[in-house]
Amino acid sequence: MSCKKHNHSCKHHRQEQAVIVDFVRTPFTRAASPGPDARYVTLVNQAVSLVGKLVAGKTFDETERISNLVATEMKVDRNDVFISMVSGKPYTAPGSKSPGKLAHVDPLDLVVPLVNRLLDKNHVNLHDIESVVLGVVHQEGEQGLNMARMAVLHGESMLPLSVQGDSVDKFCASSMRTIDIAAGDIVRGNAKLILAGGVQSMSRIRMGGNDNLLNPKVANSNARNFMNMGLTAENLAKDYAISRGEQEAFALESHNRAAKAQSQGMLDGEIVSIEGVSSDDCVRADVSLAGMAKLRPNFLSAHMGGTVTPATSSPLTDGASMVLLASESYARENNLPVLARIVASSGSGCAPEIMGIGPVEAMKKALSRANLQMSDIDAIELNEAFAAQSLAVIEECRRQGMVIDPAKLNIDGGAIAMGHPLGASGARLVGHVSRVLQRTGGRYGLATMCIGGGQGMAMIVENPDFSPKP
């Protein structure tokens, strides 16, 4: 900011900047689905049978509308009914390929060790911390009661009672939004230090929540407002002519990069061990295209054109992530390390049925606010909700002149390999891209993700230690 009186940059008039001091996360581990009871399974299959009799000869949209009406009447999840209907597979209680290594851990007990690690490692004055801002999707059960404040009241927490707690639900971008909120408070001078992050126990609280009563005026205004996320990926695969083979090649690369990062210890510095678990357990070094080809489409049957399979979808996982933010002046005065500066952020909205394309507009707005081009970005973390969704974003960016260099994208793998614990993913993306910049010497990093319900979000960070190469 220019000082008119002195005609140069003046510390009294310079706007404060928010910086990331440090970032940590838990391992992301495969969720153990709690599964519905036998009576619920029976009700869903009865609904599927009824819908099948009503939709003979109907269009896809009419089938979806009728399916929703029947599901509402029988008090079962409309996604369970519709997916079983279009996939041609009877509904069964979902199972897990592993017992869920962190399924028994209360989500708050994933958060507090991260808080304590950041505070212990960076030796900050605890009474300078203004608040904890925590992203949590589906705030009910063990994830309810304002978890951010519960992280202060927890018996093992190092935080003093003076610290506020704010819980945020912006679906997949919840913890990216918490960083955005924290940065805004710091820039306005309302805080010196803030902890921001997110958590999700998908073992404890099922996808969509355990009691997802959607307002009828939302549900009935457009049957696709909250359609199953896998079907939104199928829509993008169709709209952008993305083949199953292309999706599987993308998923293979995600696993290969994540496995390499694990083997080389690239992720060790950001992971805090929880009850002896110290690595992401969905990453597979042995994954192959031949193995992927054997899987059936998960959301839309093959004879209806389905191409999205479990292998090309991000696995349901449990995990938490957390960053410590400070004002740049506070960090300097207290000799705190600076991992990255927050440069710009943006959100966007799009049609819910193609929610996965949301990052495109969000990135465009963030780049404009930062006065940057995509070619200026040195590292990109794009949340891989689905391979089809990620490929659609890459293609749409190309069409709009924002070409993404594959060598800069998710260089340590992405959510298809690591998993996507909804409330925790955004902070992982921002924190990890900051670490990548430190490692590679790049200047600008971009983290972005799609959001259920038809949104996108993006954030740009800068490496404070960047030095141009001679």
From 138, 154, 172, 432, active-site residue:
172
Q: In the annotation, is 13 catalytic?
A: no
Q: Distances from the Cα of 266 to the Cαs of 31, 131, 432, in angstroms?
A: 24, 30, 10
Q: Which of 138, 255, 420, 432 is catalytic?
A: 420
β-pair type (317-327, 18-25): antiparallel
Q: Using an 8 Å Cβ cutoff, are 300 and 86 in contact?
A: yes
Task: Out of 282, 350, 397, 450, pick the active-site residue.
Answer: 450
- Count other Cβ atoms within 10 Å, centred on residue 349: 14
450 is catalytic: yes
* Residues 6 or more apart in contact with residue 328 via CB below 8 angstroms: 16, 17, 18, 19, 338, 341
Catalytic (active site) residue 420: yes
Task: Tell me the torsion sign for CA atoms 33, 39, 42, 48.
Answer: negative
The residues that are catalytic are: 172, 420, 450
